[in-house]
Chains A and B, each alone.
Chain A
């Protein structure tokens, strides 16, 4: 046996000299008290913990999760990042997220594989062309690169796309957003977890919250399956379970939990550089770094707390997808899954302060949560640290519904035009 093999094998087995570094330490027992307890160890919760620790000097934090690290919608989205929304409030918010994404690999010292691919929102109707022009004007005004292009330019930039008239819904044009990108979703969670833990944040998985303790209209702690802990402030960031957790604090939310399904094909050589979305056809697609075609559609037709997949979804998705990309008729579906999306009436998140003092909410992330991971973490950290609603989050406050001040984000994914 070669000596080197023996040397390195025994070293790593017995001394740990060459063992891979853990992304984050496993935290020991729960402490009786934390300054901040964050419910939900997904991208948003971990990002909030990271920014609380690094931007606000608050490190006595516990991030609790009923399951495992980033096992919810952080692991179930289709990893698209873009800022070409419709409302000025939405564009400003997602633009800040894109700006944060661009330097995230350096900041977190982990490769989040942020890759700008170019993003098409295809238009097949006059109404969709009008929305595309509207979005392009709002985007340009806000400093986000977006333009409306015709079928010829679509074909030039993305030759694999079928722009022929001989289809059910011919392509009339597209909103083209060159900075549209994809990123590695797991690496986002690992990076935030690793760096938050390095600053002293504790991450406790397999720790479910059963009750939120409220005294005189003020959150004072949580009761978990591992005991009761006191908290100066509590933040919930639990995606599809937002209503269930908020209900523990006695809050009702303007949210319906509806599954969003997705699937990937078997991996093939690089053939599709861009991200292609059609609001009219309710489909979107990109090719991942390992070659799989990542595809998704509209949310399911009715509410459900389940991540089951259906044949109906794949039938309707593929019918449109094959018209856009006829070559995909030769590909097989490799994997399918679903996430529970918390849908709001105005396709915008519900973030910030609540009527309960020291209780904060990061919810309503529907089909637009992944791309907001950095900005929601940064701004929710500011909100929790100061106890006040940051300016950027004011349009997304829970109390907007009481004054009919809805955002109306028709630029969200899964929204038809």
Chain B
């Protein structure tokens, strides 16, 4: 059993979590080009190495951010959205 640490609920079996894919910069569909919008929807960096991703703890519906190494299957750290936005220097959602 692989353990992931939910930043709200603590260490849990990874079967309780759902993968949400990589964090991408937001694109405003009202102002961006059609190409920029479909690129945002479909294209993936799909990095072999360190990635920053959305994850969901499904029983509690808690979305959070995880950093993983996709070559070694290691979870480096997990953090709440607030912690992530603070670190990125952006305004909290």
Contact = CB atoms under 8 A, between A and B. Distances in A.
B46 A304 contact: no
Given A301-B18, A401-B38, A402-B35, A252 B43 contact: yes
Interface in B41-74: 41-48, 70-73
A253 B43 contact: yes
A306 B46 contact: no
A252 B70 contact: no
Contacts of B47: 243
A301 B44 contact: no
Contacts of B42: 254, 345, 401
A26 interface: no
Nearest to B38: A402
Contacts, number: 62
Contacts of A304: 70, 73
Contacts of A305: 48, 70-71
Given A252-B45, A402-B38, A303 B19 contact: yes
A254 B38 CA distance: 10
Q: Which of A254, A303, A404 has the most CB of B within 10 A?
A: A303
Interface string B1-42: 110000000000011011101000000000000110011011
Nearest to A345: B42
Interface string A140-151: 000000000000
A172 B55 CA distance: 36
A303 B35 contact: no
B30 to A, nearest CB: 18
A118 B43 CA distance: 37
Nearest to A308: B73
Contacts of B44: 243, 252-256
Contacts of A84: none
Contact of A303 (B34, B46, B72): B46
A312 interface: yes
A303 B71 CA distance: 10
A244 B19 contact: no
A42 to B, nearest CB: 18
A403 B15 CA distance: 35
B72 A306 contact: yes
B47 to A, nearest CB: 8
Contacts of B73: 304, 306, 308
Contacts of B45: 243, 252
Given A302-B19, A305-B70, A404-B38, A243 B1 contact: no
A244 B73 CA distance: 17
A401 B21 CA distance: 18
A277 to B, nearest CB: 24
Nearest to A402: B38
Contacts of B34: 402
B81 to A, nearest CB: 19
A257 interface: yes
Contacts of A253: 43-44, 46
Nearest to A243: B46
A308 B2 CA distance: 13
A292 B13 CA distance: 32
B73 to A, nearest CB: 5
Given A243-B44, A312-B15, A252 B39 contact: yes
Interface in A242-288: 243-244, 252-257
A252 to B, nearest CB: 4
A302 B21 CA distance: 8
A311 B21 CA distance: 23
Given A301-B19, A302-B19, A308-B73, A256 B38 contact: no
A303 B46 CA distance: 8
A298 to B, nearest CB: 13
A313 to B, nearest CB: 11
A302 B68 CA distance: 11
A305 B49 CA distance: 8
Contacts of A404: 38
Contacts of B48: 241, 243-244, 257, 305
Interface of B: 1-2, 14-15, 17-19, 21, 34-35, 38-39, 41-48, 70-73
13 contacts: A252-B43, A253-B46, A254-B42, A254-B43, A254-B44, A256-B21, A256-B44, A256-B46, A306-B73, A312-B2, A401-B38, A401-B43, A402-B34
Interface of A: 241, 243-244, 252-257, 301-306, 308, 310-312, 345, 401-404
Which 4 A-B residue pairs are closest in the complex by CB-CB distance?
Answer: A302-B19, A243-B46, A254-B42, A401-B42
Given A241-B48, A306-B70, 6 more contacts: A253-B43, A301-B19, A306-B72, A306-B73, A312-B2, A402-B38
